[in-house]
Amino acid sequence: MNDQIKILDTIIASIKNNPSQFHYRVEISTIGMQGTAINGGIGVMGIANAPGSVGVVGSASGSSTTARIINEGANSEIEKNQQEVLKILNELKMEAQKESPDKNTLSKILEKAISFVPDAIIAVLRLSMGI
């Protein structure tokens, strides 16, 4: 077994055994209160007009249901991306295991991983495969 295959096997096993090692940034923004004006108008207006008025004149918050739906969608996308990375790495492995691996094919397969895999891993794979 050559070094290319050992490196690919190590990376594949690492991702399968510890998928949380990749950190994804998920941004969630919520709108506390939203007003929509139809046929003109201002939408929502809150006014505190009593003498000495202080405090909150209008208040709203995003629901936990909304945040949970967004979180579940993000988790689904992360899982999909990890499966795509594993698929690409297995494609690289299959090509690298051939008697005469085609460097152009290896390079094309590796290009698919650039948006999913950290640059350090791409660099190690390029170096180990001579591409």
**4-63 pLDDT, tens digit each:** 889 889 988 988 888 777 666 666 665 555 666 666 665 555 555 556 555 544 545 555
* Of 5, 9, 4, residue with least CA distance to 126: 4
pLDDT of residue 66: 56
pLDDT of 105 reads 94
Two tokens, residue 83: 């499966």
Number of alpha carbons in the 13 Å side-chain half-sphere of residue 115: 4
- The answer to whether the CB of 7 falls within 8 A of the CB of 14 is no
Listed by start position, the domains of the chain span 1-13+64-131
**CA–CA dist 115, 111 (Å, integer):** 8
pLDDT in tens, 63-109: 555 556 666 666 777 788 888 889 999 999 999 999 999 999 999 99
What would the two tokens of residue 97 be? 């295991």
Determine the Cα–Cα distance for residues 53 and 49; give it in Å rounded to an integer: 6
**Helix/strand/coil for 86:** helix
Phi, psi of 16 (to 5 degrees): -65, -40
- Contact in structure between 84 and 36 (CB atoms under 8 Å): no
Q: Is 1's pLDDT higher than 60?
A: no
Q: What is the pLDDT of residue 116?
A: 79
